[in-house]
């Protein structure tokens, strides 16, 4: 399974942090981060056969954050104009600077 770029990407986590794999994502001002993952053929067959997908979260002994795995692009992302997604991320970056 590998993370893949998608139209609404406005940040890449761990871009220059070996040994971590870069994670293209969309980060909204409210803190929601969405990424997209492509399954290999073997993984797709395993999910089809078992109906299960395993998900590990490294919390470093802190409380886990809410997660929302999905087989579809989140509805809020489909409903928003692309320009507003990028504008919101830009405004947050400028505010943090």
**Does 85 score more than 60 pLDDT?**
no
pLDDT in tens, 56-84: 888 899 998 888 889 998 887 877 666 55
Domain interval for residue 47: 2-51+72-96
Has residue 60 been placed in a domain?
no
Has residue 64 been placed in a domain?
no
Beta bridge partners of 60: none
Structure tokens at 14: 């761990």
* Angstrom distance (rounded) from CA 38 to CA 42: 11
Per-residue pLDDT at 78? 75
Has residue 66 been placed in a domain?
no
Per-residue pLDDT at 46? 96
Per-residue pLDDT at 47? 95
Domains of the chain: total: 1
Mean pLDDT, residues 46-57 taken together: 92
* Angstrom distance (rounded) from CA 94 to CA 75: 27
Has residue 40 been placed in a domain?
yes
* Angstrom distance (rounded) from CA 29 to CA 91: 8
Per-residue pLDDT at 90? 66
Has residue 20 been placed in a domain?
yes
């Amino acid at each position: 399974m590998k993370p893949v770029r998608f139209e609404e990407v406005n940040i890449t986590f761990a871009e220059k942090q070996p040994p971590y794999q870069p994670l293209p994502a969309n980060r909204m001002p409210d803190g929601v981060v969405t990424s997209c993952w492509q399954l290999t053929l073997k993984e797709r067959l395993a999910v089809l056969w078992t109906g299960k997908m395993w998900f590990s979260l490294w919390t470093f002994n802190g409380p886990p954050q809410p997660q929302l795995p999905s087989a579809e692009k989140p509805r809020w992302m489909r409903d928003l104009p692309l320009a507003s997604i990028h504008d919101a991320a830009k405004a947050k970056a400028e505010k943090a600077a």
